[in-house]
Amino acid sequence: MSTGVTISSISDYAILGCGSVGYAVAEELVEQGKDVLIIDRDESRVESLRDQDLDARTADIREPEAADLVAERDVVLILASDVESNKRAVEHIREQNDGQFVVARASDPVSGDELEELGADVVINPSSVIAESALRALESGELEYNASKLADLIEETDERLAIITQDSPDPDSIASAAAMQAVADHLGVDSDIIYLGDVGHQENRAFVNLLGIDLVQWDEIEDYSVYDTVTLVDSATSEELDLEVDILIDHHEPEQEYEPEFVDIRPNMSSSSTIMTKYIQEFDMNVSEEVATALLYGIRAETLDFKRDTTPADLTAAAYLYPFANHDTLEQVESPSMSPETLDVLAEAIANRDVQGSHLVSNAGFVRDREALAQAASHLLNLEGVTTTAVFGIADETIFLAGRSKDIRINIGKVLDDAYGEIGETAGHSTQASAEIPLGIFTGIEISEDTRETLLELTEEAVKRTLFDAMGVEGTEGSNGN
């Protein structure tokens, strides 16, 4: 038998109570070359153990003599099925020796607490261990099944596979798409990564350019019929694409209803990059430096460098990717140079900031690069005492707003939806979100060169009032945070 457990350099062990659990542990320890002494009160069982060349002695683990027999052992495992006997054994061992490392078997959380109070260093509950093992086996089996089904679908592609990201894709969506393209290439299928909107944020542009990820803008495609298999990764939308979806992979439930042949949605993971890393491992692929770097950055970006909603699956995926990633490239992606437009927007947002409590709202004026609003909102979140930011600006007769929050009590996506959902379009989640609002809704004034400044003033007042109300901030008198 082999459990895959790695035992330390300690070599002297004792097992008190050798039923099925104790025997399994003894067998593993002996297989690893450890010196194991077994104590059990059942004489026939002890004889059977001796017949297998195991060092076994007859004694009642409830009595002090059992503690005497194992006094020289570094580690004592008390594994009888009778918890009361285990409690007595812990008591006697602790009365005699405080230095031994004691592992004791419980039957439920209550008996576990009692064993810890009596001095057990580690308490195990076989039922919990079996349940955890069964869940791990189930997850592994599901992944193997899903990978096989996914491979079958991709290999049925006659011409090309379309891998569609979310609109104006973020790093997690781009990285997941790059990983799916690597999977398709591994299976001998040609594919394109397709996006709508813009790759506007400077970090995202640097991410794509430095890693050499080829993206295709939907409007530039001449013949859509070449895509006979369609995959959506990380909350993509197909409303404007008019294509039937075959594969859907995401860590969020989609807002639209799809009926794809293959679905893998895992809300228990914080990023789609984590899910795609699991598939790369299951396909036993040689992950390229570019894909490993993309996926690692996707996980880090989605979890705010492991500070938001991070799960064990995200951490194990990141640990797997870490040796294969290019960390110099990661540093360049995370610290891109700031464009003059972004610098202007940030300066305007700093000058016009209105802070109420820990909430900051700022008007960046008329902007050319609306992605600069998101960068300004992120930078302003670093101000002392500020936990939620919203920066808005006007472009193309539309108010664009970017929100960011590190306050666990606020879901900025819901805040923007409450504020502007009925009059505009909103998107996002608990820590980052965006809104687009038609300018005329607030003012009713026709836009012209002569009315620009008036529009800006009217818009600022209306947007701030609505947003602060949605945030639950009392009053509208604020400050610039000085």
pLDDT digits (tens, 9 = 90+) for 30-84: 988 889 999 999 999 999 999 999 999 999 999 999 999 999 898 999 999 999 9
Residue 336 confidence class, pLDDT cut points 50, 70, 90:
low
Instruction: Give the Cα separation of 298 and 274 in Å (integer).
Output: 8
- Is 0.75 topped by the overall pTM? no
Residue 439 confidence class, pLDDT cut points 50, 70, 90:
confident
H helix intervals, 256-397: 272-282, 289-302, 312-321, 327-334, 340-351, 371-380
Instruction: Give the Cα separation of 369 and 426 in Å (integer).
Output: 18
- How far from the centroid of its chain's Cα atoms is residue 108's Cα? 31
Give the per-residue pLDDT at 251.
87
| Average pLDDT along the chain | 85
Instruction: Give the Cα separation of 191 and 161 in Å (integer).
Output: 4
Instruction: Give the Cα separation of 229 and 227 in Å (integer).
Output: 6
Instruction: Give the Cα separation of 419 and 399 in Å (integer).
Output: 13
The closest of 68, 79, 162 to 123, measured between CA atoms, is 79
Instruction: Give the Cα separation of 374 and 301 in Å (integer).
Output: 14
Tens-place pLDDT, residues 118-172: 999 999 988 877 777 777 777 778 888 999 999 999 999 999 999 998 877 888 9
Residue 21 tokens read as 């659990």
Query: Which residues lie below 8 Å from residue 102, measured CB to CB, with a gap of 6+?
Result: 75, 76, 78, 90, 93, 94, 119, 120, 121, 122
Query: Which residues lie below 8 Å from residue 168, measured CB to CB, with a gap of 6+?
Result: 195, 196, 197, 198, 199, 200
Domains contained in the chain, CATH given:
13-126 (3.40.50.720), 140-333 (3.90.1640.10), 340-471 (3.10.310.30)
